[in-house]
Amino acid sequence: MAASPSLHTLSAPCAVAVIGAGVSGLACAHELAQEGLSVSLFDKARGPGGRMSSKRRPQATLDLGAQAFTVRDPRFAQAVNEWQLAGCAVLWPTHRYQASSSGWQTHNDDQRRYTGAPRMSAITRHMTEALSALPGVNMAFETPIVALTKGEAGWLLTDQHGATHGPFAAVVVSAPPPQAYSLIADWDDALAAACQAAPQRGCWAGWAIFAQPLPPIEGVVPNWHTVETGHEALRLATRNSSKPGREEQPESLSLLAQLDWSDDHIELASDDAAQQLLDAFTSLFPEGTTLPELIDLGAHRWRYAQPANAGRQSYLYSEQGLALCGDSFRGSRVEDAWLSGYELAQALLGRSV
């Protein structure tokens, strides 16, 4: 579907709606707006980010989605280089560990990783600012789109408040497939089937903030950054207070759950999920270790955290002007999300990708 030669391409002054202000939607919107198309961006949240959003607590800021990302594709590398020059992306982590029943071992896969500075959402906010500086761009946050209507002049979008937006020559939906399905099911059977064929997995993401630094572990550098675990509940623990730009905040952890455990406990109360993830983290320390005083604990449930299966297509579209992009189609990495939006934009512009 992504290589169909019958796709009608877009050119200025076409108006395009992009639903979703995560990495994929922002990348797509930016490429289209750079070519002179009028782009309207909609998102249900108060600001951009998607699963790169950050949570602010009174004591600390925590990343509860993506913690860091790698770079493989030269097109994405160019974007990351620009983010580095802008100061919103930096190398991190450099002290990675893996914990098992035999203890903690350094974990190095020779991949350079980056994180947002001073928080992961700094990257999507930078992308939003770059997009807003282009002519013909409109943004509407806290505006959930609940329905599409096809009229003679193009697509009309209805938001949760009953307001209508449009018309648009094309609509790009970068939301997870279950959410995209509710918008496009009445209009395109092929895209609807593709959404149903892309099941998503949920994930619990907890946080814990302490009054003092964590106790040292023999053989582990004091300022370790991340630890991957084989615990049945906990997959990854990261020290947000070790991220560049957040050194002054107290000891603060993000605790990302195993996907299988999350699937089995997706309806768990958030307080219970948080406590179980903290208990799992505590078990990584030598028996008898007491962690510092806990000053904040909580958890966020991502119902659609990542695709259950690796994607076979970077994006999808229909000849009537509906298109889908996001990491749910290409893969679960930040790079996959960016490339999906970028490549969809190139296709809609009639360029080779």
pLDDT 10s digits, 236-254: 999 999 999 999 999 999 9
For the chain, give the mean pLDDT: 93
Residue that wins the pLDDT comparison between 350 and 86: 86
Question: What residues form DSSP beta bridges with 168?
Answer: 155
In 3D space, the residue among 205, 158, 114, 119 whose CA is nearest the CA of residue 17 turns out to be 158
Confidence of residue 169 (pLDDT cuts 50, 70, 90): very high
Is the peptide bond between 244 and the residue preceding it cis, with omega within 30 degrees of 0?
no
* Sign of the dihedral through C-alpha 271, 276, 277, 283: positive
Q: How many domains does the chain have?
A: 1
What is the pLDDT averaged over residues 138-160?
96
Asked if pLDDT for residue 2 goes beyond 50, the answer is no
Confidence of residue 134 (pLDDT cuts 50, 70, 90): very high
* pLDDT for res 4: 39
Number of H helices and E strands in the chain, helices first, is 9, 21
* pLDDT for res 90: 97
* pLDDT for res 50: 86
* pLDDT for res 254: 98
Residue that wins the pLDDT comparison between 100 and 140: 140
Asked if pLDDT for residue 5 goes beyond 60, the answer is no
Strands 113-116 and 69-70: antiparallel
Mean pLDDT lowest for which of 28-32, 299-303, 329-333?
329-333
312 burial class (0-12, 13-18, 19+ CB within 10 angstroms)? exposed
Confidence of residue 330 (pLDDT cuts 50, 70, 90): confident
What is the pLDDT averaged over residues 309-337?
88
> DSSP of 261-302, one letter per residue?
HHHHTTTS-HHHHHHHHHHHHHTTSPTT--PPPEEEEEEEEE
Residues of the domain holding 194:
15-348
Confidence of residue 352 (pLDDT cuts 50, 70, 90): low
In 3D space, the residue among 196, 201, 132 whose CA is nearest the CA of residue 324 turns out to be 196
* pLDDT for res 65: 94
Mean pLDDT lowest for which of 55-59, 73-77, 313-317?
313-317
Let me know if residue 7 belongs to a domain: no
Amino acid at 332: S
CATH number of the domain where residue 314 is located: 3.50.50.60
Neighbours of 325 (CB within 10 A): 34
Neighbours of 144 (CB within 10 A): 15
- Sheet order of strands, 164-168 included: 145-151, 154-159, 164-168
Contact 314, 342 (CB under 8 A): no
Asked if pLDDT for residue 6 goes beyond 50, the answer is no
Tell me the C-alpha distance between 149 and 155, whole Å: 6
Let me know if residue 3 belongs to a domain: no
pLDDT 10s digits, 268-281: 999 999 999 999 99
* pLDDT for res 109: 87
Let me know if residue 301 belongs to a domain: yes
In 3D space, the residue among 269, 284, 202 whose CA is nearest the CA of residue 239 turns out to be 284
Let me know if residue 32 belongs to a domain: yes
Let me know if residue 353 belongs to a domain: no
Asked if pLDDT for residue 10 goes beyond 90, the answer is no
Contact 148, 187 (CB under 8 A): yes
Strands 170-173 and 15-19: parallel
* pLDDT for res 221: 96
Tokens 């019958």 map to which residue? 6
Could you tell me the pTM of the whole model?
0.94
* pLDDT for res 3: 38
* pLDDT for res 154: 95
134 burial class (0-12, 13-18, 19+ CB within 10 angstroms)? middle
Let me know if residue 312 belongs to a domain: yes
Neighbours of 1 (CB within 10 A): 13
Let me know if residue 95 belongs to a domain: yes
> Taking the mean position of all CA atoms in its chain, how far away is CA 219?
34
Count the helix, strand and coil residues of the chain and give each as a percent rounded to the nearest 5. Answer: 25, 30, 40
Let me know if residue 4 belongs to a domain: no
> Taking the mean position of all CA atoms in its chain, how far away is CA 43?
13
Contact 155, 170 (CB under 8 A): yes
What is the pLDDT averaged over residues 122-137?
97
